A and B are shown apart, each in its own frame.
Chain A
């Protein structure tokens, strides 16, 4: 463990410096105005109320998401069955939906009395949005842990519950903590869902900050509140990351056929029910995009419209160009975050933990203040909008790539990397030749979430983009702003299809890598 070449730490530091530099530059104004206004923000009753609510609902939502995700992740990582990939793709769908669609479907559910209105509906919507993401990260962590121990426990006659408690949970603790912190931070800073479902009474801090910036035009108090938000998300992440040591494994998990006992059938049934729940809003959106309420007709025409090259003055550009922009930003985000993450996990333990923490800063920073910060940088230094958007997407997606890779890497016995180093590879070489191929599922998950975060991001692009650089989500926003819902929902469906296509592509890569290894 002591042999670490100087090259290694330097490269990890590049990732760190990039993250910290970009975040620091865009949040400079926030820190400048926010820190002196902190006492004032803490005094403010509305801010205090929002803070308490943000904290409570984020904690509950994150916990619930993980509890719901564990059985799915276990099933997915341990067994192979027909349709496994499809189920997995379906439960990840909610995360890639525009949050406003999620909020609207839950509003409808609460009106029908299926979900209680107010805070329960917010927690339900947040859980719905995140449980698939948690399941994916947990499953990728589990997938790098061997089944040997469990099989030994089986032989010794351990019950399912004991096995879960004594073996599976400790092994995936790292993954649980990572997905917990991600979900917590996402829910703490959530905007569209509490805005629609909570009304003025159940407001998150992000809603309060937005209102202070935009309606009160009180930059100081808004920045003070944003610092408070940053402190809370930062504190939770530090506590979570300084915790449990990771479990190690000596070989990758081999999936086996699913046993036909009642317990496993119940697990599978549960998985299928969750998948149906996840599918419901997507089906609803797809229906809405095909149905024209004015003419009472069904047609696919709207998809031809939103993919056309013809200039649409409502957008200020052609719909096709928004697709190109979205794809560029999303691919760029996946590639850059994966490179940064790979460099980071090749570094020393200290740099890694620092990186994990720093990567959460942008996610914990209020998105409106981050976007405004980037906006003033752009206007001061004449930086083109598309470069700023690339930066902002890198910032908000990096934590997903970092966490996925690190969760996978932490389950791999360092003996492998050390052996490679003994054989003459430097640490970077060992990481790329030995470690990364072993945690391929985690890399694919990290890349996927970086892609998904970028393609569904709205608040930064809405402010930073011009018609030439606007993305699909901004186009959807503009269409729904003038109540052209068919176009808006059709775009949401296209975003879903794109993320699905990426999942399919990743399945192919995984298969090809397995084949190549043989």
Chain B
């Protein structure tokens, strides 16, 4: 055998082809032959925050598979925005049946993109009407959980007294601002929710919201995502013991570590606590290939059977009013029903019309 040029070249190409074929065969072994299936698009951390995420996912998706004798295919994206972006890319030939995770901000863009179809599940009466109306009165998506955005702080590194009765204006004090980690609203979903909270607070007082950012940008740290922000918060060497996160965080750290040092705080105006509510919804994809099953799945996901997993696995309040809350919630989480919601100050219409110009203004002030 002579190692001629053609021989080496042919050999390499043959190896490449053999590799391709065998990998193709390997991949085809995974193909589920199930005719009866449903494809769900969601974000990658849905229901994975519990003690045994494997068991939870098995109970939720496996439970549906057993009940309807079908296969559930989950496609996870790094967040709900990317899942929506994927729906938009395949608008002409939809692959997904259901999307989980469209929140009260993303909803405007989702409706605008024309990738969803309104659907009212039979058990809709178990979901409080105010919640449905705050997310989407037109029923493109139905709420499955909700929770508050809050300032989470480490009480060992920052005193509890200083966080009590806090206003946005107090945060501008360099002593507090230099300890704060925020999220960039032009990149992160948590960041947008926080921005709207702050805009609403300033609107309530008749003030220009941009002045707050012009001042805080010098000393607060603005991270690209909630995960990055939380890493910086937890890493004591970074010296940033306050982070914008969720009102259920203290319940989470108590549940897992019996740790009470992490606490959540809201803002206070006129002797009342004010907060911003994030509501997440599930929706039917327009032109879904398996529409019948998809409708069943939405109903199933909103039923107490699944909703009971929400508090300790997604760390949000379940939307279904027939679901019991665990004790840690009663003791350590901030209950959205007991505070004033800033969401009422910014109407859905206002958000729809102004979100992009607010984000643009933010880009100019903080980035410039």
| Residues on A with beta carbons closer than 8 Å to the beta carbon of B86 | 375, 463
The answer to whether A28 has its CB under 8 Å from any CB of chain B is no
The answer to whether A359 has its CB under 8 Å from any CB of chain B is no
Residue of B nearest to A477 (CB): B78
Q: Is the pair A104, B231 in contact by a Cβ cutoff of 8 Å?
A: yes
Nearest chain B CB to A315's CB is how many angstroms away? 9
The answer to whether B364 has its CB under 8 Å from any CB of chain A is yes
The answer to whether B223 has its CB under 8 Å from any CB of chain A is yes
Nearest chain B CB to A247's CB is how many angstroms away? 27
Nearest chain B CB to A26's CB is how many angstroms away? 12
Contact (A372, B367) CB under 8 Å given A200-B186, A215-B186, A216-B356? no
| Residues on B with beta carbons closer than 8 Å to the beta carbon of A104 | 231
Q: Is the pair B19, A332 in contact by a Cβ cutoff of 8 Å?
A: yes
Contact (A200, B54) CB under 8 Å given A335-B15, A386-B23, A433-B5? no
A395–B48 alpha-carbon span in the complex (Å): 34
| Residues on A with beta carbons closer than 8 Å to the beta carbon of B256 | 294
Q: Which of A371-411 contact B (CB under 8 A)?
A: 372, 375-376, 379-380, 384, 386, 390
Nearest chain A CB to B47's CB is how many angstroms away? 10
Residue pairs across A and B with CB atoms within 8 Å: the count is: 158
Interface 0/1 of B9-41, CB less than 8 Å to A: 100110110011001101100100000000000
Q: Is the pair A196, B224 in contact by a Cβ cutoff of 8 Å?
A: yes
Q: Is the pair A316, B90 in contact by a Cβ cutoff of 8 Å?
A: no
The answer to whether A287 has its CB under 8 Å from any CB of chain B is no
Residue of A nearest to B366 (CB): A200
Q: Which residue from B8, B27, B77, B360 sits with its C-beta under 8 Å from A469?
A: B27
The answer to whether A256 has its CB under 8 Å from any CB of chain B is no
The answer to whether A431 has its CB under 8 Å from any CB of chain B is yes
Residue of A nearest to B8 (CB): A432
Q: Is the pair B16, A376 in contact by a Cβ cutoff of 8 Å?
A: no
Stretch at the interface among B118-126, B156-164, B234-242: B234-242
The answer to whether A211 has its CB under 8 Å from any CB of chain B is yes
Q: Is the pair A111, B227 in contact by a Cβ cutoff of 8 Å?
A: no
The answer to whether A210 has its CB under 8 Å from any CB of chain B is yes
The answer to whether A313 has its CB under 8 Å from any CB of chain B is yes
Contact (A372, B8) CB under 8 Å given A46-B363, A332-B20, A481-B78? no
Chain B: interface residue count, which band?
35 or more
A469–B76 alpha-carbon span in the complex (Å): 13
Q: Is the pair B237, A111 in contact by a Cβ cutoff of 8 Å?
A: yes
Q: Is the pair A328, B23 in contact by a Cβ cutoff of 8 Å?
A: yes
Contact (A215, B81) CB under 8 Å given A108-B235, A313-B53, A331-B19? yes
Q: Is the pair B44, A384 in contact by a Cβ cutoff of 8 Å?
A: no
Q: Is the pair B223, A379 in contact by a Cβ cutoff of 8 Å?
A: no
A236–B230 alpha-carbon span in the complex (Å): 38
User: Do most interface residues of chain B lie in helix, strand or loop, or is the interface mixed?
Assistant: helix
The answer to whether B92 has its CB under 8 Å from any CB of chain A is yes
| Residues on A with beta carbons closer than 8 Å to the beta carbon of B237 | 108, 111-112
| Residues on B with beta carbons closer than 8 Å to the beta carbon of A210 | 187
Q: Is the pair A372, B192 in contact by a Cβ cutoff of 8 Å?
A: no
The answer to whether B95 has its CB under 8 Å from any CB of chain A is yes
The answer to whether B70 has its CB under 8 Å from any CB of chain A is no
| Residues on B with beta carbons closer than 8 Å to the beta carbon of A324 | 26
| Residues on A with beta carbons closer than 8 Å to the beta carbon of B5 | 425, 428-429, 431-433
Contact (A46, B364) CB under 8 Å given A216-B356, A332-B19, A477-B78? yes
Interface 0/1 of B47-78, CB less than 8 Å to A: 01100011001100000000000000011111
Q: Is the pair B77, A49 in contact by a Cβ cutoff of 8 Å?
A: no
Interface centre among A201, A314, A467 (most CB of B within 10 A): A314
The answer to whether A203 has its CB under 8 Å from any CB of chain B is yes
| Residues on B with beta carbons closer than 8 Å to the beta carbon of A314 | 48, 53-54, 57
The answer to whether A482 has its CB under 8 Å from any CB of chain B is yes
Nearest chain B CB to A340's CB is how many angstroms away? 11
Q: Is the pair B27, A386 in contact by a Cβ cutoff of 8 Å?
A: yes
Q: Is the pair A336, B16 in contact by a Cβ cutoff of 8 Å?
A: yes
A218–B217 alpha-carbon span in the complex (Å): 26
Residue of B nearest to A108 (CB): B237
Q: Which of B78-100 contact A (CB under 8 A)?
A: 78, 81-82, 84-86, 88-90, 92-93, 95
Contact (A432, B16) CB under 8 Å given A111-B239, A216-B359, A316-B76? no
Q: Is the pair B95, A211 in contact by a Cβ cutoff of 8 Å?
A: no
The answer to whether B368 has its CB under 8 Å from any CB of chain A is yes
Nearest chain B CB to A337's CB is how many angstroms away? 11
Q: Which residue from B16, B76, B360 sits with its C-beta under 8 Å from A339?
A: B16
Contact (A375, B89) CB under 8 Å given A49-B368, A215-B81? yes
Nearest chain A CB to B333's CB is how many angstroms away? 18
Q: Which residue from B12, B184, B192, B227 sits with its C-beta under 8 Å from A480?
A: B227
Q: Which residue from A107, A108, A217, A379 sits with its C-beta under 8 Å from B93?
A: A379
Q: Is the pair B85, A213 in contact by a Cβ cutoff of 8 Å?
A: yes
Q: Is the pair B366, A201 in contact by a Cβ cutoff of 8 Å?
A: yes
The answer to whether A348 has its CB under 8 Å from any CB of chain B is no
The answer to whether A517 has its CB under 8 Å from any CB of chain B is no
Residue of A nearest to B30 (CB): A468
Task: Write the residues of chain B forming the contact surface with A, with a CB cutoff of 8 angstroms.
Answer: 4-6, 8-9, 12-13, 15-16, 19-20, 23-24, 26-27, 30, 44-45, 48-49, 53-54, 57-58, 74-78, 81-82, 84-86, 88-90, 92-93, 95, 109, 113, 184-187, 192, 217, 221-224, 227-228, 230-232, 235, 237-239, 256-257, 356, 359-360, 363-364, 366-368
Given contacts A200-B363, A201-B217, 4 further A-B contacts (CB under 8 A): A199-B222, A328-B19, A336-B16, A478-B44
Return 11 A-B CB contacts under 8 Å, by A number. Answer: A108-B235, A196-B223, A196-B228, A201-B366, A216-B356, A217-B109, A376-B90, A390-B20, A428-B6, A432-B5, A463-B86
5 tightest A-B CB contacts, nearest first: A432-B5, A379-B90, A195-B224, A313-B57, A429-B5
